[in-house]
Structure 1
Amino acid sequence: MSGLLEARDLAYHVGGKVLVDGIDLSFASGSFTIIVGPNGAGKSTLLRLLCGELSPARGAVRWNGEKLHAVPAWRLAHRRAVMPQASDLNFPFTVFEVASLGTQGIGRGLSRSDRQRLALQALEQADVAHLAPRNYQTLSGGERQRVHFARVLAQLAAGRTLEAQQALFLDEPIASLDLKHQLALLETARGLARDGLAVIAVLHDLQLAAGLADDLILLHQGRLVTRGTPDAVLTSTTLAEVFGVALNSNALPTSPWLLVKA
C-alpha cells in the first residue's frame, strides 16, 4: 500500500529544547501503528505534528503528496480525527451533545436526523449509549474518555461522506480506562484500520502495543530508534538501551488477550 501520510526530516523545538529531530516516516491506509517510548521521548509531539496541530520547525508532513498545512482546516477535519490525552468541557453538555460535536460542520448531504444517528451509533461503539442523557460533567474520568472516543468516531463517520481516505490519531486513549474498556477501545481502533483507516496511536503499555499493532515506532530523546513489527522492535537489547532497565522481550505476550486469561 502506498503512503497516505508521509513525514520527511521532521523536527520541532521549544525554547531551545529539541523535542523531535530528523524523523522520516510514512503511514498507509489500513494500518495500525503504535508509537512507544519512555517519558519525554517526543511521542505526543510527533503525533501532534503528524495530525497538523503543530507546525514543524523543519521538514514537512504530506497527505497524499500535499503539504498538510496547505490543506484547509475544514477539509482536514473531514480527513482526520484526533483524540488527545485529556479533553475538558466547562459547559453542562449532555453526553449525546458532546458526541454530536463531532458531526457539527462535518459531512455532505447529511440531515439533522442523519447526524443524530451517527452520534448515537458512535456512542454505542464506545459503550456509552446508556449515558446519552447524562450531564457530561457528572461522569467519571474513564466515562468521559469513552465519550470523547465516541465524538471522534462520529466525526470520522460524518467526514466519510466527503473523504474516502481518513486517519485517526489517538494520544494515550486508554490512560483512564479499566481493562475491559482499554481492550474494547483498542479493538475498535484496530477494526477501523482493517476497514481502511490509517490509525496512529501513542501508548505506554508495551504489552498491549505488542499484541495489537501492525508495526511499532520506538522513539527516544526525540529521535526515531527503530520501526517494524513488535518482535523486531521490542528486543531485550533495545528495551534495555531505551528504557534503561533489563526487560525480557519474551515476557511480552503475543496477544493482549493473554493478559486476561485465567
Structure 2
Amino acid sequence: MTALLEAEAISYRSGGRILVDNVDLSFASGSFNIVIGPNGAGKSTLLRILCGELHPTTGSIRWNGEPLHSIPAWRLAHRRAMMPQASDLNFPFTVFEVASLGVEGTGRGLTREDRQRLALDALEEADVAHLALRNYQSLSGGERQRVHFARVLAQLKAGQSLERQQVLFLDEPIASLDLKHQLSLLQISRRLAQDGLTVVAVLHDLQLACGTADELIVMQAGRLVARGKPDAALTPQRMAEVFGVEFVAPGPASSPWRLVLEGSRRPAPASPTAGSGLADR
C-alpha cells in the first residue's frame, strides 16, 4: 500500500538527550498502528514529531510526498487530529464548547448549524452527550478524556470537507477510562481505520494493543526495535529484552499466560483476575 505518512531517519534531541534516535516509519491509509514500549522509550515524543507539533532535530517527514513542515497549519488541521495524554483547560467551558473547539476554523462550506451538529454527534459517539451542558472542570478524569476524544472526532469530521486522507494520533487515550470506555474508544478508532482513517496510538496495555493493532511499533530508549503484526513484533524474547518481563507458558487448559519479572524463575501465583490474559503485569 502507498504510504500516506513517512518518517525518514528522524531524531530528536532535548536538554542534551536523544529522545528519538534515527527512526524510519511509514503509515498506509486505513492502518491501525500502536506504539508500545517502557516509560521513557520516546513514544509520546515520536507522536508529537509525526503530527507536526515538534520538528525533528534531523530527518524528514512527508505527507503524500509533501514535506510536513511546508504544509500550512490551517491545512494540517484538516489532515490530522491529535489527542494528547492530558489537556488542561482553565476556563469554565461547557462540555459542548470543548467539543466545538474541534470544529472552529476547520472545514469548508459548513454552516454554524453544521458545526454544532458535528460536535453533538461526536459527543454522542464518545458517550458524553448527556454531559453537554456541564462545566468541563467539574468532570472526572475519564469523562474529560472522552470529551477530548469527541473534540478530535469532530475535528476530523469537519476536516473531511477539505481533506479525505486523515490521521488520528492518540497518546495514551485510555489511561483514565473504565474498561467499558477503553474498549469503546478503541472500537470506534478501529472502525474509523476500516473506513480509511489512519490511526497511530500509544498504549501501555499490551493485551489491548495486541488485540487491536494491525501493526505494533516497539520503541526502546528512543529507538525503533521492532515493527510488524503483534505476534511477530512482540515475541517472548523481545518482551524480556524491552520490558524486563518474560512469558510463562500455560500448563493445563485452565492455566493462563502470565508475565513475571525478568530474573525471577518462579511463576507468580495465579490471581483472581488471571483469566484476563496479561493481567499479572
TM-score between both structures, scaled by the size of structure 2? 0.89
Partner secondary structure for residue 91 of structure 2: coil
Match of 1:228 in 2: 228
Match of 1:144 in 2: 144
Query: Partner letter of residue 35 of structure 1?
Result: V
Match of 1:189 in 2: 189
Note closer, same or farther for the CA distance 1:126–1:204 as it changes in structure 2 (3 Å cut): same
CA shift at 1:211, angstroms? 0.2
Match runs of 1:106-117 below 5 Å: 106-117=106-117
Asked if the contact 1:235–1:249 (Cα under 8 Å) also holds between the matched residues in 2, the reply is no
Asked if the contact 1:126–1:149 (Cα under 8 Å) also holds between the matched residues in 2, the reply is yes
TM-score between both structures, scaled by the size of structure 1? 0.95
Query: Partner letter of residue 144 of structure 1?
Result: R
Could you tell me the percent identity over the aligned residues? 72
CA shift at 1:259, angstroms? 4.1
Match of 2:93 in 1: 93
1:6-44 Cα shifts (integer Å, max 9, x gaps): 000010011210000110000011000000000000000
Distance in 2 between the 1:101 and 1:17 partners?
35
Query: Partner letter of residue 150 of structure 2?
Result: A
1:187-231 Cα shifts (integer Å, max 9, x gaps): 111111001011000000000000000000000000010100000
Structure 2 residue runs without a partner (length 5+)? 251-256, 259-274
Match of 2:2 in 1: 2
Asked if the contact 1:31–1:197 (Cα under 8 Å) also holds between the matched residues in 2, the reply is yes
Of structures 1 and 2, the one scoring higher in RCO (CA 8 A, sep 6+) is 1
Partner secondary structure for residue 101 of structure 2: helix
CA shift at 1:247, angstroms? 2.8
Match runs of 1:13-92 below 5 Å: 13-92=13-92
Distance in 2 between the 1:198 and 1:21 partners?
24
Does structure 1 residue 241 correspond to structure 2 residue 241?
yes
Match runs of 1:118-129 below 5 Å: 118-129=118-129
1:56-84 Cα shifts (integer Å, max 9, x gaps): 00001110011111100000000000000
Please identify the structure whose Cα radius of gyration is greater: 2
Query: Partner letter of residue 181 of structure 2?
Result: H
Structure 1 residue runs without a partner (length 5+)? 253-257
Partner secondary structure for residue 20 of structure 1: strand
